[in-house]
Structure 1
């Protein structure tokens, strides 16, 4: 007896475009999918999502008419960050799998953003096929304006796009207005370039998603990260003023600039390690000593560097061997303490590993 496997057709809507037109997902079953398509035809008739839904439904109908055991589901993520969307999609996918109990899946999607959900599906189900829908756009003037209007609407309404398309121009206009009032328009150009560069770095490296994830999982780390960033900026500014106040430029005077910045860097490091230690204490994680050790090591190394730097200013000729000796001894002591603490942690808090 041949057992027919059940195939699930999945339409991916990772950024929850369906939710914005009132369609709650997951949508499971041919009848419900057809109703969702009718709603989309009224609300978003020119959107590529509608075309993709229709393609998914047609695949379902064709396979169903051929007598195959097949089901269809429209699954969306959320309007939040990329990580939030994937987590929400994952939750809904588990719900669909529990109800349908499929053997394999066929995935239908239309954008690179939706493709992020494919590994999530693959971790739950074998994928029998993938269909990417590329909607051909006509070259007529009306169609061009419709397409342009759709992208403008997306840029203004979706949070992850509006941060760039509204946030950055807003900051630039504010800087121009403020500097004009203060008669400092000569400085507006470099400041605007720095703002644009910062926005590109943050978006390009996904720092905004990382911060958002941090905020959701650890408010403490976000707060200490902001404090650490302010400290680093203050240190750079202080170093700049020390530099422009120097009358001569040599190794010793350059060392003064570094020493003027280093307390701020050390403070930022201690704050970050301290915030992580507080997180571990709240979670009752025994590895909190790692962060306390890092704080201790940072302070000790900074203290030695300051002493060596002061001796260098007074007697540069005799400080070379002393520097090597001090740093070598400190490094050996810190490494020895770290190894000892690791051994204590292993045998005291993981007794099973000691006996295995």
Structure 2
């Protein structure tokens, strides 16, 4: 007979906060978990969902089906971390229970992120989403509102938005008031809010958190590079407002005022990648070292070209074009040569002895 596993999903680890360690497997452990939840979170929707999952399990068992039940949680960390933890625990449950199908029970859109994880391991025979009806009375509304506010203040993934962004806005208002720059506060605040929406909407914060866990060096150099780019934009802005005439040459000078910061940001990023590859003993580290040298050389050439344009010298301009052509050919030649050496070394080391 097919063995069906009833899975209650708790992706944000609400059970862990009340002392229930998952995965919880089997009727006795599940009953104990429900009793703890009745004491600790009697009005929470998670308790209702746990009971629904348990009732589905008992009904199927009474019908003579081969069925087992489990409660599986993720973690309180980022969305990606929660899914990774859930995936690991699900694998442990599957090894112990050895089911052939699954019935999924959940109550929130956040929990629904675990469904594709389950589907990648087991055929899903059914999905039950539990929607708990809420009373509309004033008192119940305040209780519900208080619960959500507490969640927004205590859970990291919510507090970053509900506390972090308003905190930054208040800090900007206070700082600009002290500097008598309140006229600029509005646009800056709009940019902060837009940045927060972009970061949260595209999941950039989860990506950065995952990146930090895998490569702390890259996160540090990325922050340095971002600061450098912001400084470059500010420097370019001041160079632009100080222009007395507007033509192609003066606009080129504005770009030159930004360029050193862009070059520094690029060199820092390539350097961070090179350090990572050196630590990992990756032979392809030369790619990033080559990019650093190329960036510096190209920057030097652009600066020379700018000086020649200011002098308006045809002779010097021809020398610059000649130098630029030679440099480009040398860089391309070196890159091709290093690729050949890398492929030769890789083939020689990977060939069977």
TM-score past 0.5 threshold: yes
The match for 2:305 is 308
TM-aligned CA deviation for residue 248 of structure 1: 0.4
Q: Deviations over 1:142-190 (max 9, x none)?
A: 3322322221121111110011111222222233334444444333323
Alignment partner for residue 193 of structure 1, among 183, 190, 193?
Answer: 190
Are residues 312 and 143 of structure 1, via their aligned partners in 2, closer, same or farther at CA, if it must alter by over 3 Å? same
Q: Secondary structure of 1:350's match? A: helix
The match for 2:104 is 107
The match for 1:162 is 159
Q: Secondary structure of 2:20's match? A: coil
TM-aligned CA deviation for residue 229 of structure 1: 1.2
Are residues 335 and 9 of structure 1, via their aligned partners in 2, closer, same or farther at CA, if it must alter by over 3 Å? farther
Are residues 8 and 325 of structure 1, via their aligned partners in 2, closer, same or farther at CA, if it must alter by over 3 Å? farther
Greater displacement, 87-96 / 155-164: 87-96
Are residues 352 and 68 of structure 1, via their aligned partners in 2, closer, same or farther at CA, if it must alter by over 3 Å? farther
TM-aligned CA deviation for residue 271 of structure 1: 0.4
Are 1:26 and 2:39 an aligned pair?
no
The match for 1:253 is 250
TM-aligned CA deviation for residue 200 of structure 1: 1.8
- For structure 1, list consecutive stretches of 5 or more residues without a partner in the other structure: none
Pairs aligned (count): 352
The match for 2:275 is 278
Distance in 1, matches of 2:92 and 2:330, equals: 54
- For structure 2, list consecutive stretches of 5 or more residues without a partner in the other structure: none
TM-score by length of 2: 0.91
What RMSD, in angstroms, separates the aligned Cα atoms of the two structures?
2.5
TM-aligned CA deviation for residue 335 of structure 1: 4.1
The match for 1:78 is 75
Greater displacement, 205-214 / 65-74: 205-214
Are 1:8 and 2:5 an aligned pair?
yes
TM-aligned CA deviation for residue 63 of structure 1: 1.1
TM-aligned CA deviation for residue 333 of structure 1: 4.7
Q: Secondary structure of 2:12's match? A: coil
Distance in 1, matches of 2:110 and 2:17, equals: 17
Contact 1:312 1:319 in 2 (8 A): no
TM-score by length of 1: 0.90
Contact 1:277 1:291 in 2 (8 A): yes
Are 1:136 and 2:122 an aligned pair?
no
Contact 2:304 2:320 in 1 (8 A): no
Distance in 2, matches of 1:327 and 1:121, equals: 57
Are 1:48 and 2:68 an aligned pair?
no
Distance in 1, matches of 2:5 and 2:111, equals: 17
Distance in 1, matches of 2:313 and 2:14, equals: 67
Contact 2:152 2:159 in 1 (8 A): yes
Are residues 333 and 8 of structure 1, via their aligned partners in 2, closer, same or farther at CA, if it must alter by over 3 Å? farther
Q: Secondary structure of 2:103's match? A: strand
Are 1:217 and 2:217 an aligned pair?
no
Are residues 323 and 114 of structure 1, via their aligned partners in 2, closer, same or farther at CA, if it must alter by over 3 Å? farther
Contact 1:7 1:105 in 2 (8 A): yes
Contact 1:10 1:74 in 2 (8 A): yes
